[in-house]
């Protein structure tokens, strides 16, 4: 069982805890003005309703790489990662940083302030402008037991019970889709 979904924070924005399991590559759908505390909200195709609200340092990286017009960012991609060393108010809380950006021709280096009067170079790698296209995959297979149990549930009129049981067991979506489709086709 993959526990990733069980540790997802309940929040209205992307958090560094969302990236505990590893970095993510996201596609920007829109950039909106935020509030005084978090002035920029970057909407992401992969996290609907949970925008990325970059820190001031990461906003500086974005402006350095793509310019200051956020309206041009739509369709561009970012690779984001969790940096556990990020501090807020003196406490090490972790934060989200940019590892790579599309639409930059070569590695980007930006000098960012890490403490008052102390700067450090921050490097961002180029990311392909377009997401790689996946090779067509064969449809998932339905094993004989599922086929037989589905036929039995249809014959006995217990499809809703069978679907409930499959859901409780954590059956993959393609299994429940198969049961639903088969039941509708035989109705």
CA distances from 90 to 67, 85, 93, 94 (A): 31, 11, 9, 12
Report pTM.
0.63
d(CA 162, CA 44): 36
Q: Say if 138 falls within a structural domain.
A: no
Q: Say if 71 falls within a structural domain.
A: yes
Q: Say if 131 falls within a structural domain.
A: no
Per-residue confidence (pLDDT) for residue 134, from 0 to 100: 64
Q: pLDDT, tens digit, for every residue of 3-33?
A: 555 445 556 777 777 777 778 899 999 999 9
For 19, the domain range is 4-126
Do residues 179 and 109 share a domain? no
Do residues 22 and 54 share a domain? yes
Task: Count CB atoms within 10 A of the CB of residue 124.
Answer: 22
The tens place of each residue's pLDDT in the chain, 187 residues long, gives 665 554 455 567 777 777 777 788 999 999 999 899 889 999 999 888 889 999 999 999 999 999 999 999 999 999 999 888 887 777 777 888 999 999 999 999 999 987 778 889 999 999 988 776 666 666 677 888 889 999 999 999 999 898 888 877 777 888 888 898 888 888 7
């Amino acid at each position: 069982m993959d526990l990733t979904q069980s540790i997802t924070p309940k929040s209205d924005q992307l958090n560094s805890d969302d990236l505990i399991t590893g970095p993510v590559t996201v596609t920007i759908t829109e950039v909106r003005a935020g509030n005084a505390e978090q002035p920029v909200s970057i909407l992401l195709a992969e996290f609907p309703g949970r925008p990325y609200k970059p820190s001031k340092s990461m906003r500086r990286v974005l402006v350095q790489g793509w310019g200051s017009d956020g309206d041009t960012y739509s369709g561009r991609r970012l690779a984001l990662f969790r940096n556990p060393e990020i501090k807020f108010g003196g406490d090490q809380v972790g934060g989200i940083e940019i590892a790579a950006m599309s639409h930059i021709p070569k590695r980007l280096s930006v000098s960012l302030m890490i403490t008052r009067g102390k700067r450090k170079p921050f490097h961002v790698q180029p990311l392909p402008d377009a997401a790689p296209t996946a090779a067509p995959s064969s449809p998932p297979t339905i094993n004989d037991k599922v086929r037989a149990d589905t036929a039995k549930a249809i014959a006995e009129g217990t499809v809703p019970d069978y679907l409930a049981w499959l859901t409780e067991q954590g059956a993959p979506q393609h299994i429940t889709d198969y049961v639903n489709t088969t039941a509708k086709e035989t109705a």
